Amino acid sequence: MAIGTGIGAAETPPVTADAPVPGRRRAPRLRIPRSPKVLTGLGLLVFFVLLAVIGPLVAPYDPSASLSSTNGVPQPPSAAHWLGTTQTQQDLLSQLLVGGRSTMLVAVMAGLVATALSVIIGVTSGYVGGLVDDLLSMVINIGLVLPALPLLIVMTGFLPKDANPSDLLIGLIISLTGWAWGARVLRVQTLSLRNRDFVDSARIAGERGWRIISFEILPVLVPIIASSFLFTVIYGVGTYTALAFLGLINGTHWSWGTILFWAQSQTAAQNGYWWWWVPPGVAVALLGTSLALLNFGIDEFINPRLRTAGLSRRRARKTGLPRRFPLGVTPVTRPRAPLPAAAGRPAAEETSS
């Protein structure tokens, strides 16, 4: 179903509406829809990646250092401390800058490992079928229903008390609970691909199983794998922040969740120290939003029916589509031809409630 359009786009160079320039016949394999949503997401993501790379280098102070022993009250933002200070006079801007790298590292690590796991398990399950499929689907389904955060809390809770686990280890542990969703989606898609003609012909031509999987099936699954990766990174950001917020991560292991942990334990919200908890919370939410916006782009790539919703009104008028689509008519791409049903819009549609 949805994947059908993915194949069309990937295999045959489509005559796209926006690439009619003669002499420049590109065959775009992965056309990311250039909607404002995707561009915003991309811009934000670039910002956060830069932050993770240079953040710790430009941080003005040591995030753990107590800069003044005389003052026991958090200071609001000032020229010396742009984001203010904590109870023990640590510089919050430095904490935010340093914490960004850890947050991103853990999330990306979790995303990479979990996506690899979901591809291996999901595609194997869907392609091999039979008893292997039954067993693996059962594992996938159990992975889906077990509540992830409590399981993670138990796992990290049993790490030695004073240990300062590396970001990569935390990412690895988080990935153990984040692969099942992707695996299920990939399994279903592989099942539907397994008996397509192009896979059959490869099989008849005597291709080996692993070759069919990696050269025939995986390329078609790329958008779904990418979407699953982004989803898992969002999950990683949220989960890591939650674990640190609960105090499961060493309190000097700076991440945005750690800042929130200290803010919560000093009741910053109740005391009106907004500069303490707003920046890390907004940063987590914006990072998640940027990834989710990119995911919208991939969703619209996979399922073009969602795409028209993203057309602006002016754009819609330009392409000759009615501003509101009557039922039964979803322009799948941006059609040049007039829509057959557009003329006969039911009267019920006009008298909208």
Partner 1 sequence: MILLARRIGFYLLAALVAITLDFFIPRLMPGNAVAAALANLHSQFTPATIKALELQYGVGTDQSLWTQYLHYWNSLLHGNMGISTSHYPATVTSVISAGLPWTLGLVGLATVISFTLGTVLGILVAWRRGTALDNLLPAMTFFQAAPYFFIAIVLVAVFATKLGWFPAINAYDQTLVTPGWNWAYISNVLDHAILPALTIVLASAAGWIVGMRNVMVTTMDEDYVLVAQAKGLPKRRVVNYAARNAILPSVTGFSLAIGFVVSGALLTEVVFSYPGIGYILQQAVLERDYPLLQGVFLIITFAVLTANLIADFAYVLLDPRTRQEA
Cα→Cα distances 304→9, 216, 324, Å: 11, 23, 17
CB of 235 to partner 1, least distance (A): 9
Q: Which stretch binds partner 1 (CB under 8 A): 52-60, 93-101, 195-203, 292-300?
A: 292-300
CA distance 155 to 158: 6
Q: In angstroms, rounded to a whole number, what is the distance separating the alpha carbons of residues 78 and 60?
A: 14
Rounded to a whole number of angstroms, the minimum distance from the CB of residue 18 to partner 1 is 20
Q: By CB under 8 A, tell whether 67 contacts partner 1.
A: no
Of 154, 168, 175, residue with least CA distance to 246: 154
Query: Which string of b and e fits 233-270 if b means at least 16 CB within 10 Å?
Result: bbbbbbbbbbbbbbebbeeebbbbbbbbbbbbebebee
Is position 234 an interface residue for partner 1 (rule: CB under 8 A)? yes
CB atoms within 10 A of CB 198: 14
Residue 13 near partner 1 by CB under 8 A: no
Of 42, 218, 292, 342, the one binding partner 1 by CB under 8 A: 292
How many Å separate Cα 219 from the centre of its chain? 20
Does residue number 281 form part of the binding site for partner 1 (CB under 8 A)? yes
Q: Which of 3, 9, 119, 248 binds partner 1 (CB under 8 A)?
A: 248
Under the binding rule (CB under 8 A), the answer on residue 348 touching partner 1 is yes
**With the C-alpha atoms ordered 256, 238, 33, 179, is the resulting torsion angle positive or negative?**
positive
Selected binder of partner 1 within 147, 206, 336, 343 (CB under 8 A): 147
Q: What is the DSSP letter of 74?
A: P
Q: Tell me the site size for partner 1, rule CB under 8 A.
A: 74
Subset of 178-217 contacting partner 1 (CB under 8 A):
181
Q: Among 8, 60, 150, 338, which residue sits at the site for partner 1 (rule: CB under 8 A)? A: 150
Residues in 46-65 that interact with partner 1 by CB under 8 A: none
Which lies closer to partner 1 via its Cβ, residue 37 or residue 196?
A: 37
H-assigned helices in the chain: 2-11, 36-58, 92-128, 130-145, 148-157, 167-175, 180-194, 197-204, 209-211, 218-245, 256-265, 268-271, 274-302, 313-318, 347-350
Site for partner 1 in 303-332 (CB under 8 A): 303, 305-306, 308-311, 313, 316, 323-330
Question: 152-181: which residues touch partner 1 (CB under 8 A)?
Answer: 153-155, 157-161, 163, 181
Nearer to partner 1, 105 or 237 (CB): 237
At its nearest, how many Å lie between partner 1 and the CB of residue 57? 27
